[in-house]
Amino acid sequence: MDNRIHFFSSLDVIPKKVDSELLGIRGRQANEFAELGFPILPGFIINTQLASQLDKVDIKKDVKFLLEKCASIVGKKFGDPENPMLIKIVVSSNLAVSNYPTLHNFGLVRSVIPGFAKWVGETFAAHEVLFMVRGILKIEEQLASIVNDTEKLTTYKDLLAKLAKEIDSEHPAKSALEYMDFYGPYVPAEFFDSADNQLMITLRELSKLLSLDSQNDNDTALMIQPMVYGNYGKDSCSGAFFSRNIVTGEKKLQGEFYREKFNEIGATGQDIEKIGPEHLKQLQKIAWTLEDKFKEIRQIRFTVEKGKLWLIEQRPVDQKSTQADIKLLLDLAKRKIIDNTYVVKAIQPPRLNEILHPIIDPSAIKGLPKWSGGIAGAPGAAIGRVYFSTDALLEAHKVALQKNEDHRFILVMPATFADDVKAIEVATGVLSCEGGYSAHASVVARQYGKVSVVIPAMKIRGKKATIGDISFSEGDYITLNVPYYGDPTVYLGQAKLIEPDPSESGLLEFISIAKQFVNGFHVRANADSPRDANLALSFGAEGIGLCRTEHMFFHKDRINVFREMILSDSLEERSTVLEKLRPMQRDDFYGIFKAMAGKEVTIRLLDAPLHEFLPHNDEELAAFMTYLEKTKGKKPNKAELLARIEALAEFNPMLGHRGCRIAVSYPEIYAMQVKAIFEAAFKLRDEKIEVFPEIMVPIVMNANELKLIAFGKKIEGKNYHGIVDVEEEIRSELQKKPIPYRIGTMIELPAAALGAGEIAKYGQFFSFGTNDLTQTTLGISRDDFTSFMPDYTLFDLLEGNPFSTLDPRVKELIVMAVERGRMTRPDLVCGLCGEHGANPANVRFCIDAGLNYVSCSSYSVPIALLAVAQAELERTN
């Protein structure tokens, strides 16, 4: 026996001393099956040293001996007229991708056709002849191409085109023997006369092809195995399955088998679990052994021929859910197959997006008209009826609840603003056409766990929208599918969703494992309500890094009260209205503090420009006037009201009268919020619940602003009450003992980063608002930059999306601010609370820059935690 030929079976393993590289990829896989004792078809490998040299070596006796050895195992004989064993030849390259043909059914010669057809039928026999002929003709075509024989090449191309049509035909035009007669002149001489000669001819031709192929560097082997058929009489079937459910991760085989069928084409399958107890037990053992070996879900193809199970192929699975992978990892960890380090490293953080949001059921979208493209704002899937304004959606939602009807809605608008938050909150998703990943709609959708996609190509006209070839009107159902990877898709009509369940999915257990590797640096949440806070806690958050108080004033029962405060004529009137808002704010903070008992809660005082709260249309104005009439007992003057609203309008409000600048002009607003914070805190301490408030002053540009707002000032007879003063007043009024708290600021302007050393004199913590810091550093609007971003990407003028991945200049400002701040205040606490905190690419920078935490939306907390754990593991290894 030539020592370059290696036999394998479920009982025969190729010795370890044989270099595995000599076997090629497919050969190595076959030997792995043999090592596991799987019911693999026996076979032999002509290794890479010999495969391209068969014109120089006579291996006919070796092949004959090994085929007889195979025959004794499978119960058929090569060339037997009654029960012929057919052969497949697998080109086993060491390259992942090779351009060699599929070679099946060798041994089909004239003498065996009647016996073969007796088992599988005349039609199938004819098809198998065509498959075999296609294989040998492709070898001849490639040989003709290499030697540049254009005449033969043209002939083979024409024949292969004809063959393709005949193979695709359900009813072949000729019988198996007639096809042999027809193709006889185009294949090597005596090809259909002897099974032994046919196989040797094919091996020699294939060897010649390998020797002439410029891409073959003597690194390709040939593997020969018998073929088995799922339609070979009774007690035969074929099938394919996954080692577990690829959507839910349940440890249960998922797939189908096809009784008395060669494969699934034109066949009706049955659930693999119904194949029968003996074969099911075998398949389960195979599947779960493979999972343990490869530490991943595998797909397995098999054939049962006359009651005997044979493993045909197994490979990785591409289309599997993150949940399924996590369930597998947890299962392997419990059984000590892998350790917790392996579990944490195995999942890329962005993949957790999928497990946190609904996903489309693939079987439910067939036939639905669709359009793909756009910018993913917030991942997931959503179904709902379309509404083109906040008011219309909220009214439809109210009616649907009253009538107990479907209350799933999708908000469709060119862009959203602060007043549209309430619609996004009750909608399932939002579809817009202006902005991008960092647009208002995208940011708010991520905060509330809703789906968002921005499609610049969408045209909205009245109550109808058009995207490419599809259009929909108000009240129509659409389905949004926004994967983390790949293009978003809008479907017309209703698909079906698979809803996430963090406890059932294994996510919470997975995150608890990841948190074991999080030391020092931690993750907080951006949360504005007790619901968000509790959700963030369940996902592993260690506090709240950003509570946006402006969102609280848009609630239906508050917005008009807040508008009344803004439009008040005097300090006295404003103070009166603020007293109405104070208990509302107190209840907000009470709920959030209570949810986060024992953890820091950073409350950002009012940041949004006042104009955002004012009526934007006639309906809102009418509702506000009705409110004023009921409150004040007289009908307001519409013209005067409009004039006051117009007077508050700004040309560039995001760089205008907002944040701490409002507090300088109207200190009573921040005073009300600070009182509400401490009233809630004192109340909870009375209830034996620990509270750690952190009061954040936004949009500070220099130390003097923070000093004024934090500590107050007396000047020219005017007394400005700072946060410290207000806390002392409310504590004295309530006769309470002090509660530890911090005052800090949001670093979101380059001037603040440069002046961090001075600012740190008056601030105990910095929180980097990287959304605004990016805008003000680069001079780019996050809502508008997508209009020119494609051009900038084309010419490599910016590296990626600066509102997703931190720009180097922004990073430099952060590092500088941390260093300068800690030179003044060594114990300065620093965090990042912009949307960048959810991007794993930024987490390592934040750790290296000396920050203490990142803060992100509740739904992004697991992603950030996993990124931190992986960064910590990388640092320690």
Q: What pLDDT, on the 0 to 100 scale, is given for residue 489?
A: 94
The response to whether 548 counts as a known ligand-binding position is: yes
DSSP lists the bridge partners of residue 845 as none
Q: What pLDDT, on the 0 to 100 scale, is given for residue 219?
A: 87
Lowest mean pLDDT among 148-162, 607-621, 766-780: 607-621
User: Do 188 and 109 contact (CB within 8 A), yes or no?
Assistant: no
Share of the chain above pLDDT 90, in %: 69
237 is catalytic: no
Count helices and strands (H / E) in the chain: 32, 33
Report the C-alpha gap between 415 and 844 in whole angstroms.
33
Say whether 221 sits in a helix, a strand or coil. Answer: strand
Average pLDDT (684-691) is: 96
6 is catalytic: no
The response to whether 248 counts as a known ligand-binding position is: no
pLDDT tens digits along 47-73: 999 999 998 999 999 999 999 999 999
Helix (H) or strand (E) run with residue 130 in it: helix 122-146
Average pLDDT (246-269) is: 85
Say whether 803 sits in a helix, a strand or coil. Answer: coil
Res. 155: pLDDT tops 80: yes
Q: Where are the domains positioned within the chain? A: 5-226, 237-320, 358-499, 517-549+587-603+669-876
Report the C-alpha gap between 470 and 615 in whole angstroms.
34
User: Do 131 and 167 contact (CB within 8 A), yes or no?
Assistant: yes
Chain-centroid distance of CA 269 in Å reads 31
Q: What pLDDT, on the 0 to 100 scale, is given for residue 485?
A: 67
pLDDT tens digits along 287-345: 999 999 999 999 999 999 999 999 998 899 987 888 999 999 999 999 999 999 999 99
Lowest mean pLDDT among 399-403, 535-539, 734-738: 399-403
The response to whether 271 counts as a known ligand-binding position is: no
- Secondary structure letter of residue 175 according to DSSP: -
* Tokens, residue 374: 């756009």
pLDDT band at 1 (very low <50, low <70, confident <90, very high): confident
Res. 113: pLDDT tops 80: yes
Q: What pLDDT, on the 0 to 100 scale, is given for residue 266?
A: 67
- Choose the CATH number for 237-320 among 3.40.605.10, 3.30.470.20, 1.10.490.10, 3.40.50.2000: 3.30.470.20
Report the C-alpha gap between 266 and 293 in whole angstroms.
34
Q: What pLDDT, on the 0 to 100 scale, is given for residue 790?
A: 64
What is the per-residue burial (b if ≥16 Cβ within 10 Å, else e) of 653-687?
ebeeebbbbbbeebbbbbbbbbbbbbbbbbbbeee
Dihedral of alpha carbons 54, 59, 62, 63, sign: positive
Lowest mean pLDDT among 498-507, 590-599, 671-680, 687-696: 498-507
pLDDT tens digits along 813-830: 999 999 999 999 999 999
Res. 786: pLDDT tops 70: no
Q: What pLDDT, on the 0 to 100 scale, is given for residue 606?
A: 95
Res. 355: pLDDT tops 70: yes
Report the C-alpha gap between 748 and 794 in whole angstroms.
29
Phi-psi region of 223 (alpha: psi -120 to 50; beta: other; left: phi over 0): beta
pLDDT band at 614 (very low <50, low <70, confident <90, very high): confident
Report which of 224, 188, 191, 220 is spatially closest to residue 104, judged by C-alpha positions. 224
Report the C-alpha gap between 566 and 613 in whole angstroms.
9
Res. 717: pLDDT tops 80: no
Share of the chain above pLDDT 70, in %: 98
Say whether 784 sits in a helix, a strand or coil. Answer: coil
Res. 97: pLDDT tops 70: no
User: Do 706 and 745 contact (CB within 8 A), yes or no?
Assistant: yes
Res. 808: pLDDT tops 80: yes
Taking the CA atoms of residue 670, residue 675, residue 676 and residue 678 in that order, the dihedral angle to the nearest 10 degrees is 130
Phi-psi region of 729 (alpha: psi -120 to 50; beta: other; left: phi over 0): alpha
Q: What pLDDT, on the 0 to 100 scale, is given for residue 388?
A: 96
In CATH terms, the superfamily for domain 5-226 is: ATP-grasp fold, A domain (3.30.1490.20)
Could you tell me where the beta strands, DSSP code E, fall in 306-379? 308-316, 359-360, 370-372, 375-378
pLDDT tens digits along 455-488: 999 999 999 999 999 999 999 999 999 886 678 9
Q: What pLDDT, on the 0 to 100 scale, is given for residue 287?
A: 96
Res. 44: pLDDT tops 80: yes
Report which of 697, 711, 801 is spatially closest to residue 752, judged by C-alpha positions. 697
Res. 590: pLDDT tops 80: yes
User: Do 43 and 225 contact (CB within 8 A), yes or no?
Assistant: yes
What is the per-residue burial (b if ≥16 Cβ within 10 Å, else e) of 803-838?
bbbbbeebbebbbbbbebbbebbeebbbbbbbbbbb
pLDDT tens digits along 204-235: 999 999 998 877 778 899 999 999 999 888 89
Q: What pLDDT, on the 0 to 100 scale, is given for residue 499?
A: 77
Res. 450: pLDDT tops 80: yes
Res. 203: pLDDT tops 90: yes
Q: What pLDDT, on the 0 to 100 scale, is given for residue 503?
A: 81
In sequence order, the 6+-apart residues with CB closer than 8 A to the CB of 301 are: 238, 239, 240, 311, 312, 313, 314
Q: What pLDDT, on the 0 to 100 scale, is given for residue 540?
A: 94
Res. 789: pLDDT tops 90: no
pTM score, whole prediction: 0.82
Angle 770-778/808-824 helices, nearest 10 degrees?
120
Res. 42: pLDDT tops 70: yes
The residue annotated as part of the active site, out of 70, 660, 833, 856, is 833
User: Do 511 and 381 contact (CB within 8 A), yes or no?
Assistant: no
* Tokens, residue 157: 């191309």
- CATH class of this structure's domain 517-549+587-603+669-876: alpha beta
CA angle 113, 115, 119 (to 5 degrees): 110
Say whether 669 sits in a helix, a strand or coil. Answer: helix
Res. 578: pLDDT tops 90: yes
Average pLDDT (509-536) is: 94
Chain-centroid distance of CA 770 in Å reads 24
Q: What pLDDT, on the 0 to 100 scale, is given for residue 96?
A: 66
Helix (H) or strand (E) run with residue 5 in it: strand 5-8
Question: How far is the first Cα of the chain from the last one, in angstroms, to the nearest whole number?
Answer: 49
Res. 525: pLDDT tops 70: yes
Cα atoms found within 13 Å of the Cα of residue 338, Cβ hemisphere only? 21
- Secondary structure letter of residue 169 according to DSSP: -
Q: What pLDDT, on the 0 to 100 scale, is given for residue 645?
A: 86
Mean pLDDT of the chain: 91
The response to whether 771 counts as a known ligand-binding position is: yes
* Domains 5-226 and 358-499 are alike in CATH topology: no
Q: What pLDDT, on the 0 to 100 scale, is given for residue 826?
A: 97
pLDDT tens digits along 744-782: 999 999 999 999 999 999 999 999 999 999 999 999 887
More confident: 403 or 853: 853
Report the C-alpha gap between 686 and 734 in whole angstroms.
12
The response to whether 770 counts as a known ligand-binding position is: yes
Q: What pLDDT, on the 0 to 100 scale, is given for residue 809?
A: 96
The residue annotated as part of the active site, out of 279, 357, 440, 551, is 440
Res. 372: pLDDT tops 80: yes
- CATH class of this structure's domain 358-499: alpha beta
